[in-house]
A and B are shown apart, each in its own frame.
Chain A
Amino acid sequence: MTKRSRKSISIFDGNILRQAIVESLKKLSPHIMVKNPVMFIVEVGCAVTTLLFVRDMLTSGHASAPLWFTVSVSVWLWFTVIFANFAEAVAEGRGRAQAESLRKIRKDTLAHLIKDGIETDVSSTILARGDIVVIRAGEVIPGDGEVIEGVASVDESVVTGESAPVIRESGGDRSAVTGGTRVLSDEIHVRITTDPGSSFLDRMISLVEGSSRQKTPNEVALHILLVGLTLVFLLVSATLVPLARYSGITLSVTVIAALLVCLIPTTIGGLISAIGIAGMDRLIRKNVLAMSGKAVEAAGDIDTLLLDKTGTITLGNRMASELIPVGGVTQEDLAESTFQASISDETPEGRSIVSLIGLQYDTAGFKKKLNGMVEYIPFSAYSRMSGCDFDGIMIRKGAVDAICAFVEGSGGTVSPQVRQTAERISEGGGTPLAVSRNADVLGIIHLKDMVKEGIGDRFDRFRAMGIKTVMVTGDNPRTAAAIAKEANVDGFLAEATPEKKMALIKEEQAKGRLVAMTGDGTNDAPALALADVGIAMNTGTQAAKEAANMVDLDSDPTKLLEVVEVGKQLLMTRGTLTTFSIANDVAKYFAILPAMFAGVYPEIAPLNVMRLTSPASAILSAVIFNAVIIILLIPLALRGVKYRPLGAATLLRRSLMIYGVGGIIVPFIGIKAIDMVLKALGFI
């Protein structure tokens, strides 16, 4: 199996950056800016200082501040807005690049529409929900739909990156087909299940491009905080004018605009939409299609995860795990006969038996003894056993009842130990197979539903994140308990029916927990829809995909780990940058306030703790720092703050140290450095 991983795009991809520069200027249009009130205020500030500069330039004499100062502040204020737009444009550019690769899938193809038994060729773009089309070998499936007739092997690599073809057939859980994938063999009839423009891909493309991106609830709540702070600082700056005038200090509009822009949370305000777009983008690179940003955020809050047992936790086919001899039979003797009975068995169980024995014994020796005339007895549903006859020896392997009957029929006796062993294995969730030679039962093979390797570690990671895992299975409670223990899940739901699944989700939700569920079958659909986050496997049915709010193209149910991480990263990145942004204000005050008042109150000098060169350079340095920090934080906004499952208190302490305390200290250093550079370059 080869995986074609989605092309990862460098943050500094030249094409995207070039486009982003153009975009960031286009976004200066006020009707776009007004969507982000924080940056809109900055733009208004820019406009005012620029007008002031123009006025001062034309009418010499009564300039409120030196001309070079007004123009420098104006330019850097513009940069602040442009940098913020640039961040958003880069994020959108990366999304668009992803969308481009998705869009290639959604080519306009010819569809053979069947109406009233007559086949007509139409463009795939006009197919509507309910239309029936026929697709033959070598053709591209024109839209998302459900197979209603036939069976075919389909190459879905465009969507999943998986090169091995998959079988799609009518009925059952493998009936869903995705538009853009190619039928390799046979012919299928498909009922289209989406209207034009609303297929999975269409919705996804518009989401990653940011065009239909709606602010998520948490983003809106944060926006309210930011707008509130902006209003506070607007008030602070505006009322400072009369308060200062009372003290005999005249503040120029330029200085007030500089103060305002430095105080309002431009860092987070400028990066907030880039963070959101980049989050969706990261998810797609993990091959998960999300229907809304809201679902991704909800994933970060998941408390309980329901997982299907088969195919998720276990491999889904039974594997030999142990050979148990009965009576006086030796382990090696049993192994030899079992090997001989299984060598022609091509079922997964048979192969697993051969490979288990191969791990412990030199099977070449066993094979040699089969040199003579060997007659292989294939498995039949009637006999429920298989095996081989050679040199007058009859070796059989099969269901315990069948072997017992066979042995007794051959004149042998079955010791009670055989049935006891078989029962014990059944109780433990395994399947026993008996092996006999002539009229003797040699022993029992323990077939087990094998838990996927490494799955326990993944569940440990879920646990560290505070997520409870629940295994859902149709097995009886005993079997379920055994597998649950081995797989290291926190709980299980045995003998699950769709009703029981729904009841479990409702019960968890009533306790205030957020529930995620992975599923693929049509019978999972109601539960997927009910869960707060439903992730459907791409191999699943259309019904399951429609009910879910995410689809995993790789059909890897533990992918939820990554989805949860992306969700948490989204919130963390917002939180840390907000903290950083607010903490920055402390240093800016110490730069700007002494500079504003030093003229009338020279005694205020001790407040100038950074010892900045002059009032003008102090204000300019703060403004430059404020703009540059946005650019410097773009990579962080796009990548997201790294999430570590450390427990909330530890996480918070780290973040507070880095972004809170760091946010207070960094600007002191940064502003001082900029001031020194300005001085060294002779600007001031």
Chain B
Amino acid sequence: MNVYGWAQIFLYFLVILALTRPMGNYLYRVFEGERKPFPGIFGAAEYFVYRALMVDKNKEQTWKEYAFSLFIFSFFGILALYALQRLQFFLPFNPQTLEGVTPELAFNTAVSFVTNTNWQAYPGESTMGYLVQMAGLAWQNFLSAGAGIAVAFALARGLTRKANQAKTATIGNFWVDITRCTIYVLLPLSLLGALFLVSQGVIQNINPYREIVTLEGTRQSVAMGPVASQEIIKELGTNGGGFFNANSSHPFENPTPLTNFIEMVLIFLIPAGLTYTYGRMSGNRRQGWVLFCAMAILFMTGTAACYQAESHPNPILAGLPLDHSQGNMEGKEVRFGTSGSALFTVITTAASCGAVNSMHDSYTPMGGLVPLVNIMLGEVVFGGTGAGLYGMLIYAILAVFIAGLMVGRTPEYLGKKIEIREMQYAMAYILIFPVIVLITAAWSAAAPYGAGSVSNGGPHGLSQILYAASSAGGNNGSAFAGLNANTPWWNIMLGIAMLAGRFLMIVPVLAIGGSMAAKKDIPPGPGTFPTDGFLFVILLTGAVIIIGALTFFPALSIGPIVEHFMAQAGRRF
């Protein structure tokens, strides 16, 4: 650890803190404001889309209609992306004449990008042609991020709206939300960001791969492609799917420490901004800052732990005559160092991004535990675009339910009572994630076709399995890459895990939005439990840790935790 490392971490946090309000205000204007920004350009584009899709932007949907629209939209997204991959050999923009992708891998990848997971069981540069990258993967990067944000707004509307005059409680219109998100937020920011990335050396072309002669005289093929346009949305939309196999550690994706910093900022930009937007929607900005604070506490704790762990060398190498001043540099880029890598790792797993600039598999056991725990907490530490906010709000509802009882009132959140239905949906949400992760992991660990992909013996092998299951179920997409995931079992199982982790969990979220939208709100009194103070920050943080930890601690204790103790004791496998 050194002062520059800490300085980078704190500077990063301050930048996020400073951007939260303007970003939040902008999002509020786009989704909830009367006067939208740049009506001449964006408004016209929006109008054109509604005309083409035959959408009435003033017609709101019930939660069921909203969910149905989202599912239909995603289902056709998966179909299209699957078809693109399978048929890429006779489609244009494929200068390397890459073959059609195998069915399991195409299924896995299609699901992966539509669910905002961007789990990649393939090396990008040798599997996907430019058309698939641009029209398939990048396209879904925009829309899956937009879908997450749409769901977050739908829930936020349900929680914050005063009782609807109409009998049927509506929570917005999916088609309007996703259109606005793309046109007003994701596209313009991506355009600006891509230009910046290009200025830093990120490539953007559709040329065939370059054959070069290295200094040593050997011939090498250098992959080309429209990288910048995909790189930017990969971070902004917390997607994480790299153009290249090496993801953000590749110099064409992330060439300098500055791009590294900007990429990290882009990952948290929308999730952090959404907390502020939520505060504005609730009519009390502190409601948003409370969520921000709980997220910030969890984030800074994780970052400190990971950076601390990675600043020390692998204990087994510690005695060797090597330069240990940089800490554990295995699998890390020298241009980012331990702090730039550890910080990126915590951010990418706290959010459901999954882009990586260093290899998580090579982290020390404790350093690798942090990203794993981040995912297992449900990626609510800022979290994915939209998904982080709605995940945290479910935790808030649970925390309010238990705490609300302790003050002797039927629990209420933002003046709306939490009753049987909300608890059913919230518990369903809480239950689905461990069901997916633990069953996927346990089955894979028990079956030879699952455990056979593991590349390390001992507890680290179990960590690889746990990481893969969590990453898919949590829609993160990063990997302990020692696991060979491109096998039929893993492709299909993780594909199912990603689908369930996304869509099964969205159902209860939208359902809560719908049932809360219909409720009368009760004006707060002295007996009402305040959810806009520091006490609630503590409570919310506690709820996230306790529920997450209680669920996964047993599995973790025979994975990274025991691995840590064994490494300390010098035991090897």
Contact = CB atoms under 8 A, between A and B. Distances in A.
Contacts of A249: 558
B98 interface: no
B535 A652 contact: yes
A569 to B, nearest CB: 7
B213 interface: no
A233 B528 CA distance: 32
A604 B431 contact: no
Contacts of A511: 523
Interface in B487-540: 520-523, 525-530, 533, 535, 538-539
Interface string A267-303: 0000000000000000000000000000001001101
Q: Tell me what chain A mostly uses at the interface: helix, strand, loop, or mixed.
A: helix
Given A232-B431, A243-B442, A512-B523, A572 B558 contact: no
A466 B438 contact: no
In the complex, which range does the number of interface residues on chain B fall in?
35 or more
Contact of A579 (B402, B418, B443, B520): B402
Contacts of B297: none
B409 A603 contact: no
Contact of B558 (A218, A232, A243, A651): A243
B522 A575 contact: no
Contacts of A241: 442
Interface stretch (A23-31, A367-375, A609-617, A655-663): A655-663
A572 B410 contact: no
A569 B405 CA distance: 9
Interface string A231-254: 111011111111111110100000
Most chain B CB inside 10 Å of its own CB: which residue of A232, A575, A648:
A648
Contacts of A247: 458-459, 462, 558
B208 to A, nearest CB: 45
A61 interface: no
Nearest to A304: B525
Contact of A232 (B403, B451, B542, B551): B551
Interface stretch (B149-157, B241-249, B338-346, B559-567): B559-567
B401 A225 contact: yes
Given A236-B552, A239-B442, 5 more contacts: A221-B420, A466-B526, A511-B523, A605-B565, A607-B565
A301 B422 CA distance: 19
Nearest to B439: A239
A246 B408 contact: no
B402 A239 contact: no
Interface string B436-462: 001101110110000100000011011
A666 B564 CA distance: 28
13 contacts: A221-B418, A236-B552, A240-B554, A243-B555, A246-B451, A572-B408, A589-B553, A589-B554, A597-B557, A597-B558, A607-B565, A652-B407, A653-B535
Nearest to A231: B431
Contacts of A222: 405, 423
B419 interface: yes
A466 B558 CA distance: 50
Contacts of A240: 442, 554-555
B334 interface: no
B528 A239 contact: no
B212 interface: no
A559 interface: no
Contact of B530 (A512, A582, A649): A649
Interface of B: 398, 401-410, 415, 418-420, 422-424, 427-428, 430-431, 434-435, 438-439, 441-443, 445-446, 451, 458-459, 461-462, 465, 520-523, 525-530, 533, 535, 538-539, 542, 546, 549-555, 557-558, 561-562, 565-566, 568-569, 571
Nearest to B533: A649
Contact of B431 (A228, A244, A601): A228
A224 B435 contact: no
Nearest to B435: A235
Contact of B410 (A571, A593, A604): A571
A524 interface: no
A649 B439 contact: no
Interface in A564-580: 567-569, 571-572, 574-576, 578-579
Most chain B CB inside 10 Å of its own CB: which residue of A228, A244, A303:
A228
A649 B535 contact: yes
A236 to B, nearest CB: 6
A568 B409 CA distance: 6
Contacts of B419: 217-218, 221
A513 interface: yes
A464 interface: yes
A117 interface: no
B523 A593 contact: no
Given A232-B434, A465-B527, A653-B535, A246 B462 contact: yes
Given A243-B555, A593-B557, A575 B423 contact: no
Interface string A629-662: 0000000000000010001110111011001100
Nearest to B428: A228
A238 B557 CA distance: 16
Given A232-B431, A246-B445, A297-B410, A513 B404 contact: no
A603 B445 contact: no
B557 A651 contact: no
Given A235-B438, A236-B551, A301-B410, A656 B525 contact: no
B438 A579 contact: no
A236 B529 CA distance: 32
A220 interface: yes
Contacts of A227: 427
A585 B547 CA distance: 10
Contact of B406 (A217, A297, A300, A656): A656
B401 A221 contact: yes
B569 A603 contact: yes
A73 interface: no
A583 interface: yes
B311 to A, nearest CB: 21
Contacts of B403: 575, 652, 656
A603 B457 CA distance: 16
A604 B530 contact: no
A647 B420 CA distance: 26
Contacts of A245: 445-446
A572 B405 contact: yes
**Nearest 8 pairs between A and B by C-beta?**
A575-B405, A568-B408, A466-B527, A228-B427, A575-B406, A239-B442, A242-B446, A246-B445
Contacts of A132: none
Contacts of A567: 408
Contacts of B435: 235
Contacts of A239: 438-439, 441-442, 555
A263 interface: yes
B553 A593 contact: yes
B420 A220 contact: yes
Contact of B557 (A231, A574, A607, A660): A607
Contacts of B551: 232, 236
Contacts of A467: 527
Contacts of A232: 430-431, 434, 550-551
Given A221-B423, A589-B554, A652 B529 contact: yes
Contacts of B445: 242-243, 245-246
A643 B451 contact: no
B551 to A, nearest CB: 6
Nearest to A575: B405
A593 B554 contact: yes
Given A236-B554, A246-B451, A300-B409, A604 B565 contact: yes
Interface string A195-229: 00000000000000000000001101110110110
A454 interface: no
B442 A647 contact: no
A235 B442 CA distance: 10
A365 interface: no
A225 B409 CA distance: 17
